[in-house]
Amino acid sequence: MTPLTLGSAAPDLEIQSTGGKTVRLTDYAGRNIVLYFYPKDNTPGCTQEGGDFRDLSERFAALDTVVFGVSRDSVKMHEGFKSKQAFPFELLSDPDERLCGLFDVIGMKNMYGKQVRGIERSTFLFDRRGMLVREWRKVKVKDHAREVLLAVEGLN
């Protein structure tokens, strides 16, 4: 599959989600969508990033914006992570990397001095028309959720 670029329409893929749901981004036409990819549930950076999106969730909701977190972890693992951290948004499970591939977020990374293949922390913003309007790659967690919120505010 060809990776998405700015101006691309939201992909029409079914992805398993927490809450026993199957999510299609195209089902959210008319709303802004924030899709943030993170490496692994229950790790410090991923917990902080999710917590930052959680803490701003009411502001995103007020802007008619739905937030989804995505990693390769299983739905079962996501359920525990979501519950423990009280995330008000769904986490999408992408073990076969279909969504990760479309957004070109899989790459080689250094972890404890070893090269490993994993998700590069990235975030994507779709507008109400379902078009990709912003992307953030190689994200640093600090202040990232707030930066995304500012971008959403700029759309409305």
Q: At 147, is the secondary structure helix, strand, or coil?
A: helix
Short-list 126, 114, 113, 54, CA closest to 86: 54
Query: For the domain 29-155, what is the CATH superfamily, name and number?
Result: Glutaredoxin (3.40.30.10)
Helices of type H across 35-122: 44-55, 57-62, 75-85, 98-102
Per-residue model confidence (pLDDT) at position 156: 67
Mean pLDDT by 10 residues, the chain (156 residues): 84 93 93 96 93 97 97 96 97 95 89 83 96 95 96 90
Residue ranges of domains in the chain: 29-155
Per-residue model confidence (pLDDT) at position 69: 98
Q: At 148, is the secondary structure helix, strand, or coil?
A: helix
Predicted TM-score (pTM) of the model is 0.94
What is the C-alpha separation between 143 and 56, in angstroms, rounded? 11
What is the C-alpha separation between 42 and 6, in angstroms, rounded? 31
Beta bridge partners of 109: 116
Active site residue 100: no
| Residue of 10, 34, 35, 46 marked catalytic | 46
